[in-house]
């Protein structure tokens, strides 16, 4: 009897365990979250040295070389006066004191005139010695106000340089500058012009031969797609009479520096740089 009871209890326990297994709920599957490719951590990449093309590494080499050269040869002014004109109406007559000299500017819509001490200078009939825009000169009739005045004390002489522009310019006219370089000793007036290259009146000593030189500029281009812009530099030397003369080599050709730029991005074509100068620019 005891054996029978033991067998019965064993069978009953086995059935209970089997039922418990059957009744156990099926586990809920864990959803898979997609991982984007850029979220997967990647091993660090060793940096490689980027070798720039030669033209990209040195594309400003010509500009730097010329900037250094011109800076070494420049004659610095002893006094600079800037016009503080703010657009308000000016008196017709304006007096500017330049050291122990006086400049009187007569403002007019018809013709601009000025006096340096007692010397009256009319701009309307004056033209630039150089050709700032291709083969064209700049005439004093298109400017009407001074922008900056510089006094130079150099080699026993005094010169006044004046940058002149138009107050109410539009378009390309805003890129035009008319220069007056005046020799106080001989009372001689010299006029130059610039178009989109250098708006500053500067004096130099090229060749380091104790001369007073002016660097003239020419901006030469044509309005066509993908055109090139050429900047040409010449220089003039002041003679004993106070007149600037264009300087030429022994073949009677003007000394020059030529630079060529792209109209698309203003990048300079270094392989088109040329110089036939009084000294080798390195």
Q: In this structure, what token pair is assigned to residue 240?
A: 């004993």
Q: How far is CA 119 from CA 113, 147, 166, 189, in A?
A: 11, 20, 23, 10
Give the integer Cα–Cα distance in Å for 149 and 184: 14
Span 260-275, pLDDT tens digits: 999 888 899 999 999 9
Provide the pLDDT for residue 24: 47
Provide the pLDDT for residue 226: 74
Confidence grade of residue 111 (pLDDT, cut at 50, 70, 90): low
Confidence grade of residue 54 (pLDDT, cut at 50, 70, 90): very low
Q: Which residue has the higher pLDDT, 123 or 49?
A: 123
Note whether 274 and 266 are within 8 A (CB).
no
Q: Of 139, 131, 114, 152, give the one whose Cα is nearest residue 238.
A: 152
Give the integer Cα–Cα distance in Å for 176 and 17: 104
Give the integer Cα–Cα distance in Å for 163 and 103: 13
Give the integer Cα–Cα distance in Å for 90 and 87: 8
Q: Of 151, 149, 148, 147, give the one whose Cα is nearest residue 77.
A: 151
CA angle 257, 128, 83 (to 5 degrees): 100
Whether pLDDT at 144 is above 80: yes
3-state secondary structure 15-39: HHHHHHHHHCCCCCCCCCCCCCHHH
Q: In this structure, what token pair is assigned to residue 107?
A: 């403002």
Span 11-28, pLDDT tens digits: 444 444 444 444 445 555
Cβ atoms within 10 Å of 22's Cβ, excluding its own: 7
Q: Could you tell me where the beta strands, DSSP code E, fall in 84-202?
A: 93-98, 101-106, 113-116, 119-122, 145-154, 157-165, 176-183, 188-195
Provide the pLDDT for residue 4: 42
Note whether 123 and 143 are within 8 A (CB).
yes
Whether pLDDT at 239 is above 90: yes
Which residues are paired to 107 by β-bridges? none
- pTM reported for the whole predicted model: 0.77
């Amino acid at each position: 009897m005891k054996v029978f009871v033991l067998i019965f209890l064993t069978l009953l326990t086995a059935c209970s365990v089997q039922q418990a297994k059957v009744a156990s709920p099926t586990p809920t599957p864990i959803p898979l979250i997609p991982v984007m490719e850029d979220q997967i951590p990647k091993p660090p990449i060793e940096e490689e040295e980027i070798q720039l093309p030669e033209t990209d590494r040195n594309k400003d080499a010509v500009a730097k070389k010329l900037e250094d050269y011109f800076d070494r040869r420049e004659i610095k002014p002893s006094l600079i006066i800037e016009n503080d004109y703010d657009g308000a109406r000016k008196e017709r007559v304006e007096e500017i004191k330049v050291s122990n000299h006086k400049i009187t500017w007569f403002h007019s819509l018809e013709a601009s005139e000025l006096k340096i001490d007692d010397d009256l200078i009319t701009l309307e009939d004056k033209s630039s010695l150089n050709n700032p825009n291709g083969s064209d000169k700049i005439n004093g009739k298109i400017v009407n106000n001074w922008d900056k005045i510089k006094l130079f004390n150099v080699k026993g002489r005094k010169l006044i340089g004046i940058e002149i522009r138009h107050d109410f310019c539009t378009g390309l006219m805003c890129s035009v500058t008319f220069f007056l370089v005046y020799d106080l000793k001989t009372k001689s007036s010299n006029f130059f012009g610039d178009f989109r290259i250098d708006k500053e009146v500067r004096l130099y000593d090229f060749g380091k031969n104790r001369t007073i030189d002016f660097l003239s500029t020419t901006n030469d281009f044509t309005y066509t797609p993908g055109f090139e812009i050429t900047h040409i530099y010449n220089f003039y030397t002041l003679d004993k009479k106070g007149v600037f003369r264009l300087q030429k080599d022994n073949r009677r050709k003007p000394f020059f520096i030529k630079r060529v730029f792209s109209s698309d991005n203003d990048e300079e074509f270094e392989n088109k740089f040329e110089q036939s100068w009084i000294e080798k620019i390195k």
